[in-house]
Structure 1
Amino acid sequence: MSEPKPRVALFVTCLVDLYRPSVGFAAIRLLEQAGCQVEVPRLQTCCGQPAYNSGDRATARDLARPVIDAFLPYDHVVAPSGSCAGMIAKHYPGLFDNDPHYRARAEALAARTHELVSFLVDVRGVERVQARHAGVAAYHDSCSGLRELGIRAQPRRLLAGVEGLTVKELAEPELCCGFGGTFCVKYPEISTRMVSDKVKDIEATGADTLLAGDMGCLLNMAGRLHRQGSPVQVRHVAEVLADMTRDVPPIAGA
């Protein structure tokens, strides 16, 4: 008798919902291929990270409570974003230091929350995906995914099995792109300089495609590439791994 499929709740994220729903569909395809039963809780809202990063802990708590209530019943929670997954997995418990009931619930949710590609590789043991993408790609490591969740080797491991794809490393793949959530609003001049340096690094690889696992980073870099007239296409890594690039256009820069 086969084991039941794990129930996985997909945390879609605000940016995916508003700007790139195809990333959500790509995540569902990948999770189902990995043997999961995927559901998208209808009551999910923002994870509260913008408020948290701005120092507004009260609003962050107000947003975190319904997320905890909606997602706690599942075996795993998966987000196609290192920053949102990091918020839930690393910062939710500390929001409730003065609320023992929600502190315990937040800790339970944190323990079962994962970024998408990390979940596929580290939890489900996926070693290869059935995908094709002809071309050369550069991969950007988002700050939250890399530093909070230890995501670096996992996307490269799966991308190495994509038929027709060559991955070129950036000279400084771990440097921030300058988005940083509210950072780019508070310090626009510094942010612009950072993303300009990142674009130079991307173009120096000769890659025709830029990949990353966080929509904030991708939108920021796509915008700068577009404004500088670069032909480099920008995509979320899930779209390549789910073999959706022939059906979904690249992320448009503004």
Structure 2
Amino acid sequence: MDTTLEKRSAEEWAAWLLEQDLPSTNRTAPDLLAELDGTPRTFQAMSDEIQEDPVLALKLLARANTALDAKETLVKTLSQALSLLGVDFLRNLLSSVRIEDSESSPSARRFHWRMGRSFVAAHIARALAQYHFAKQADELFWAALFRSIPAWYLARMLDDQDHPPAHLRGRQRAQWQREHWGADEESIWRHMIPRLGMPERVTRAQLPAERETLRHWARLERLCPSEGTPPRPEDRTLRMLIQSPDTLVILAI
């Protein structure tokens, strides 16, 4: 791992991070590899197991989408990816997975913590989707999970002193990143996601950054009481914000 931090553009950060080997955080890969030699499994059954390892799921979906012709529809589910790539590809992928214990280093602990946070966000998104977007629940699960991909890489590849102080939030945090990294995490995200061939739902789930958008979110927050049912917003823009599945993903993360 490169321990010397140097300023890079967002595009350079994206390219460098994606060259790094992101480890898995559990034993899904070796366990599934052992099962492949036993009773035949359906793609859905295998995808249910792979879902428990976000890094493995990321590698599988990214490989499936980069294998597609530019005119084809992006793969959105693990079972679709498996049917496209086949069991032999899966076997080779599982054999190459590196597992890292959370106690092996400070960066490994940070990486495990960040991965757990992403998992929580994904399950929140899926749960919230049951109310208005039930048919898109799985898609929103992956969108919320993969929205933090750059944070996974940055957590694992950078040393403690190269991360922003914990008390910094929002624009202050982004400013610190630009001063010390040369680019902020959101800009890095915009360059990483297209390279991974992520579904459109992931690419659309951008955090609000523009002042006008932030103003809408602040107004929406004031409308929501701590208890009871919030009133229906009169502002059309706010109503559209509430009704968007992308808003659900942003709320979850």
Q: TM-score range by the shorter chain?
A: under 0.3
Task: Report 1 or 2 for greater relative contact order, CA contacts < 8 Å, sequence distance ≥ 6.
Answer: 2
Q: TM-score, normalised to structure 1's length? A: 0.27
Larger radius of gyration: 2
Indicate the structure with greater strand content: 1
Indicate the structure with greater helix content: 2
